[in-house]
Structure 1
Amino acid sequence: MSARGIELHGPWGHVFGPLDLDIDGGGVTVLAAQSGAARTALLMALCGRMRLTRGSLTVLGYANKPTKVFAHSAIACLNELDEVRPSVTVQDLVTEQIRWNSPWYRLVPRVDEGGVENMCAHVFGDIERPALHAFVDDLPEIQQLLLRIAVANTRRPPLLVVGRLDRIADDGERSAVLERLVSLGESQSVITADVNPVSAHCGVRGVIDMHGLLGAGDIGVMTKAR
């Protein structure tokens, strides 16, 4: 990934930029930056979910082609895109995603525990799977986040973007989620963001310090999302 002079302006003004950014393929890259709409917008732009105002962005070999990047990437844990309603159960969420991925003519029954296991195993690793009939909103925070990643990452595209890592209150759970992202980074390029310091020994490929480059941003930017 290579960005040169990228900028974004929302309906009410400047959001971020100009920025230069280089990210190598593979592993986990953490963008260390203040949380807010600007950071969210940057994550969305890097995976083709938001069009830049100006600048050049090459991702996965596609230069200034957000539609191509969109087709070869996944994004999870950004409420602007994948927030789950409180009344949705684990069974409903997994079933809906499987139906979405299936051909229109194929009848997909509601999943059982095996269906949840098939979707979650690669992302969850040794972490306990969510109960089939539990409401997603009632799950422990770590299970909520990993479930959202599993649902978004069913096709395992080359690029996976994960937001909201620094909103995990428990340090141990945040470390556990990061460990799972490092595992996913063995076969994908994973980009996430965290306002908190990230240890150089936690297995991430790189940490890019963007403090001072990304502010809180303009909340109106989300009206420009793809």
Structure 2
Amino acid sequence: MGLLVEARGVSALGADGLLFTCVSGTVHTGQLAVISGRPGLARTALLLALCGRFVLTGGSLHTDRDYRLHGPRALRQRIAVARAKPSIMLDGALRIGEAVTERRVMCGRRRGFEQACWHAWARMGLEKPPVRALVSDLDPVERVLFAVALAQAQGTDGIAVDDIDDSLGAEDRAFVRQALSSIVEEGTAVLATCADDDWAEVRIPLEAPHDPGDDHPGGSPASPQPAGDGDAARPAPAGDAIEPAHDAAPAAAAQPSAAAAPQPPVGAAQPSQPPVGEETRPRPAPAGEHGPVQRPTLDAPGERAPRPGRFRRRGPSPADGDSA
């Protein structure tokens, strides 16, 4: 196995500040590496950085010395990105055949691209779909594996795929992981982002920058207490109780007495009461006085039951992939 990428203390900045810092890891060809951590921009940025597609502010990236290029330029040629949200995604409006043709033209490989794509598709345990079907007809598992098959057909040394467990149940996650393992068995390295990394050969945890305020639920240890009007904000002395700025009024004074309720004058018209035995019904509100319309809420993507796959078999089968 040759060296694919080695990160040495890499760091990067985003629009809102530090994304990641001092991240190191080594991935060789034919290995399955997982970047674990919370989904978001930082995790995706680290994946793109390891592929030479994100600007670093610190650290360095290295690849095999025998490769003709070096640095990020070499990594861009050696690693194909299958998916990186939200910039690199499959277009659901394209037909499956059109998506294959588009990737073939973009990567410049004109011979054997379609055969390599469907070979990888069968290797991962999927039946070939109709080329006139839409990409949006694929379920979430098939869609991410279709992106992996397109990247595998480019003939690179590695594949990068982001957020492989997005909105997937336990059974679907196991299927995707087994499918990626079948790609690794052919000698192609896979770099993936996932919430957990206990199933990977190489683990690259994403460590968020440490905030001193995280050690104190109420903020930093020197955060001042709120002060009243005109008072300077200052921390309370240790061991002293904080006295209220004004005496609290008795609770009984805040509640009006029933005996003190105003009574209508003698002879005034009394409010009309419904006759005894008559059922009282609420009067409909006039037009324009109704509250906001309550609309039915849809299930969150993570709570919606996954649709059964149309082109999925029992599992990846190397024998089927070889005969495809």
* Offset of residue 129 of structure 1: 2.4
Greater Cα offset, 115-124 or 165-174: 115-124
CA shift digits 1:29-81 (9 cap, x unpaired): 12221111100000000011112111122134479711121011111121334
Distance in structure 1 (CA, Å) of the matches to 2:182 and 2:72: 27
> Could you list the runs of 5+ residues in structure 2 that have no partner in the other structure?
210-324
| Larger Rg over CA atoms | 2
What SS does structure 2 have at the residue aligned with 1:76?
strand
Gap runs ≥5 in structure 1: 109-114, 216-226
Deviates more, 1:20-29 or 1:186-195: 20-29
Q: Give me the identity figure in percent.
A: 25
Asked if the contact 1:2/1:59 (under 8 Å) is kept, the reply is yes
The answer to whether the 8 A contact 1:6-1:52 is kept is yes
TM-score relative to the length of structure 1 = 0.77
Match of 2:82 among 76, 81, 92: 76
CA shift for structure 1 position 137? 1.4
Partner of 2:193: 193
Q: Please tell me the residue identity of whatever aligns with 1:188.
A: T
Which amino acid letter does the alignment assign opposite residue 139 of structure 1? Answer: L
Distance change >3 Å, CA 60–CA 214, structure 1 → 2: farther
Report which structure shows greater RCO (CA 8 Å, sep ≥6): 1
Structure 1 or 2: more helix by fraction: 1
Q: Secondary structure at the match of 1:82?
A: coil
Number of aligned residue pairs: give it: 201
- The aligned counterpart of 1:137 is 136
Cα offset for 1:116?
Answer: 5.7
Q: Secondary structure at the match of 1:156?
A: coil
Separation in 2 of the partners of 1:69 and 1:207?
19
CA gap of 1:64–1:121, structure 2 versus 1, over 3 A, is closer
Aligned residue in 2 for 1:35: 39
Identify if the C-alpha distance between structure 1 residues 140 and 72 changes in structure 2 by more than 3 Å, giving closer, same or farther. same
**What CA distance in whole angstroms lies between the structure 2 residues aligned with 1:206 and 1:129?**
31
2:92 to 80, 86, 90: 86
TM-score, normalised via structure 2 length: 0.55
Which protein has the bigger strand share?
Answer: 1
